[in-house]
């Protein structure tokens, strides 16, 4: 879950084949086999939205818990970590920090 400022949540619009339309959704994705959830979440956030926290620590990336994505159809679980202290990555800027 990505929070830009108090009371705002960062969403992305993307075409999802399962519902056949463009929808609003929380940014996220899958962790690589050797990747921890924090690193995977921050990587996906940067790839999908161009946003990342300026500092990554226990104060800026807090674990809120997990939710079943759709327990009626499978066992997928999402882990929620809202980062704070944002910066915007633009493709024309310098290389982003190693997350």
pLDDT digits (tens, 9 = 90+) for 9-67: 788 888 989 889 999 988 888 888 898 888 888 888 889 888 888 888 877 787 778 88
Structure tokens at 97: 């920090």
Report the share of the chain in percent with pLDDT over 70.
76
Phi and psi torsions of 83, nearest 5° = -80, 155
Give CA–CA dist 89/85, Å, rounded.
13
| Cβ atoms of 47 and 80 closer than 8 Å | no
Structure tokens at 71: 């327990």
Map tokens 């499978």 to a residue.
Answer: 74
Structure tokens at 5: 């400022």
Please tell me the pTM assigned to this model.
Answer: 0.67
């Amino acid at each position: 879950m990505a929070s830009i400022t108090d009371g705002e949540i960062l969403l992305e619009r993307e075409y999802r084949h399962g519902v056949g339309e463009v929808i609003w959704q929380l940014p996220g994705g899958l962790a690589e086999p050797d990747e921890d959830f924090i690193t995977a979440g921050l990587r996906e956030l940067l790839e999908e939205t161009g946003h990342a926290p300026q500092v990554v620590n226990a104060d800026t990336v807090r674990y809120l818990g997990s939710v079943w994505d759709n327990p009626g159809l499978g066992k997928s679980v999402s882990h929620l970590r809202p980062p704070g202290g944002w910066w915007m990555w633009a493709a024309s800027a310098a290389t982003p920090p190693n997350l």
